[in-house]
Amino acid sequence: MIHQYKLNGFNIVLDTYSGAVHCVDDLSYDIIELYETKSKEEIKQEMQAKYEEITEKDIEETFEEIENLKQEGKLFTKDIFENKNLDLKKRDTVVKALCLHIAHTCNLNCEYCFAGQGKYHGEDALMSFEVGKQALDFLVKNSGTRKNLEVDFFGGEPLVNFDVVKQLVEYARSIEKEVGKNFRFTLTTNGMLLDDDVIDFLNKEMNNVVLSLDGRKEVHDRLRKKLNGDGSYDIIVPKFKNFVEKRGNKEYYMRGTFTRNNLDFTNDIFHMADLGFTELSMEPVVSSPDAEYGLKEEDLDKIYEQYEILAKEMIKRKKQGNPFTFYHYMIDLSAGPCIYKRITGCGSGTEYLAVTPSGDFYPCHQFVGDKKFLMGNVKDGVTNTKIRDEFKLCNAYSRKECKDCWAKLYCSGGCSANAYHATGSINNVYEYGCKLFKKRIECAIMVKIAEAMEEDEMLATC
């Protein structure tokens, strides 16, 4: 299977099952498009009619290049993974990552919060050290031979329960050597409670931090409000600047959410860059399209345009010597994920579990509070193995909508939580999310091609 598209002056051809990426001229692009549906003679005639300056020799040489790539397994490759997928279903799974809901409460009242202002549609709650310790012990015990274990402090607002965060990190560090594991900690925060002590601790212990900022002041303050209704921008931006500077301007993501209120969201990304932040992420709000701020089908063209503007600006600013990164465009073509990872995806419900303040397990943070997905708890472990088995079957080959999709080995079949909330089943797809994902991947690959052309070092041939 191949996918062809034109973007920013590049003609791009992706070969789905080999992972190959080609940048081609107009003649090659047109021949590749017709290659599997018309005879060589028919294609020749069409090309000679379309391109007056092209000779028969040019066409023959192009056919030869295409044939060579086909023989090398880099173009028109067949799916050799689908049947192997059967083995993945029987695989043993280990737990390697936990999302610790350290606080089901928040000091902000963000209107679009999927967690219902941090409470996950329940009561205010803080995780105790004892529950957190049991969760870490469960992780170690159930991680098999995996050396790298990941723990994300999430909420609500994790810093509301900062003392327990510190205690849990201290506990994990105290057992690391003995159990032969390497803990990688991450934390997501709205920034309100950052002070020098918190910053120093997080910079010492967190492999990555995610900082919530929606961009321009008027955009941010419209939905990210304090409990008294005032905006939070003026409080958090100076704190984030201090935090990131002390962090050496690395290992963080400034993470925004865009809604129907700011479909020109690239201006919010550029605003973050102009504030001096360089590691940026901006996510589409996940909500009902009926919500006042919810994204609608009619917004898609505008969003696509924004993703293209963003890609072009990223290339431009890199050339000018003031680069920034956009999370979804940071793909590594030569050292990206293996085929196993590409098929199985994020591991929710199997390798990755969310833990509530009371110690209950859910498949991931987006299922927390929905009792249908309760999987067990820190004392008894995973007791509802039926749910785990359902999630084990969720992958790039399990959804009929993905069968003929060129992007399935980039998205692994999409997010189960998004699918569930959009369609009522984890085995369907969230189509709106698919459309956005495909556009982002097209842009991301174009950025990589532009960089390769600029640097010339990634090119296998030129």
Partner 1 sequence: MKRIVTIKTRNLEESEKNGGCGECQTACKCGVANQKCENANK
Map the footprint of partner 1 across residues 215-244, applying CB under 8 A: none
Min dist. Cβ of residue 452 to partner 1 (A) = 5
Taking the least distance from each CB to partner 1, the nearer of 131 and 364 is 364
Residue tagged 């039926």 (tokens): 386
Q: Find the part of the chain contacting partner 1 (CB under 8 A) among 35-43, 120-128, 336-344, 370-378.
A: 336-344
Under the binding rule (CB under 8 A), the answer on residue 411 touching partner 1 is yes
Residue tagged 């997010």 (tokens): 415
Min dist. Cβ of residue 128 to partner 1 (A) = 24
Q: Find the part of the chain contacting partner 1 (CB under 8 A) among 92-100, 124-132, 170-178, 313-321.
A: 92-100
Min dist. Cβ of residue 259 to partner 1 (A) = 15
Taking the least distance from each CB to partner 1, the nearer of 178 and 332 is 332
Question: 339 by DSSP, 3-state: which?
Answer: helix
From CA 324, how far away is CA 315, in angstroms rounded?
Answer: 9
Instruction: Find the binder of partner 1 among 2, 7, 47, 69 (CB under 8 A).
Output: 69
Min dist. Cβ of residue 1 to partner 1 (A) = 12
Taking the least distance from each CB to partner 1, the nearer of 34 and 339 is 339
Amino acid at 116: G
From CA 174, how far away is CA 168, in angstroms rounded?
Answer: 10
Min dist. Cβ of residue 374 to partner 1 (A) = 20
24-54: burial string, b at 16+ Cβ within 10 Å, e else = beebbbbbbeebeeeeeeebbeebeeeeeee
CA geometry: angle 440, 445, 455, nearest 5 deg: 140
Under the binding rule (CB under 8 A), the answer on residue 409 touching partner 1 is yes
Taking the least distance from each CB to partner 1, the nearer of 151 and 199 is 151
Instruction: Find the binder of partner 1 among 1, 3, 4, 19 (CB under 8 A).
Output: 19
Identify the sign of the CA torsion 27, 29, 33, 36: positive
Taking the least distance from each CB to partner 1, the nearer of 217 and 341 is 341
Query: How many whole angstroms from its chain centre is CA 131?
Result: 29
- CA distance readout (Å), 426 to 80, 345, 353, 406: 25, 13, 16, 21
Site string for partner 1, 256-295 (x = CB under 8 A): -------------------------x-x------------
Under the binding rule (CB under 8 A), the answer on residue 78 touching partner 1 is no
Instruction: Find the binder of partner 1 among 126, 235, 263, 458 (CB under 8 A).
Output: 458
Under the binding rule (CB under 8 A), the answer on residue 20 touching partner 1 is yes
Identify the sign of the CA torsion 84, 86, 87, 91: positive
Taking the least distance from each CB to partner 1, the nearer of 290 and 455 is 455
- CA distance readout (Å), 405 to 1, 299, 410: 9, 22, 10
Do residues 101 and 355 make contact, with C-beta atoms less than 8 angstroms apart?
Answer: yes
Q: Which residues contact 448 (CB under 8 A, 6 or more apart)?
A: 21, 331, 333, 458
Min dist. Cβ of residue 139 to partner 1 (A) = 12
Under the binding rule (CB under 8 A), the answer on residue 90 touching partner 1 is no
Min dist. Cβ of residue 197 to partner 1 (A) = 25
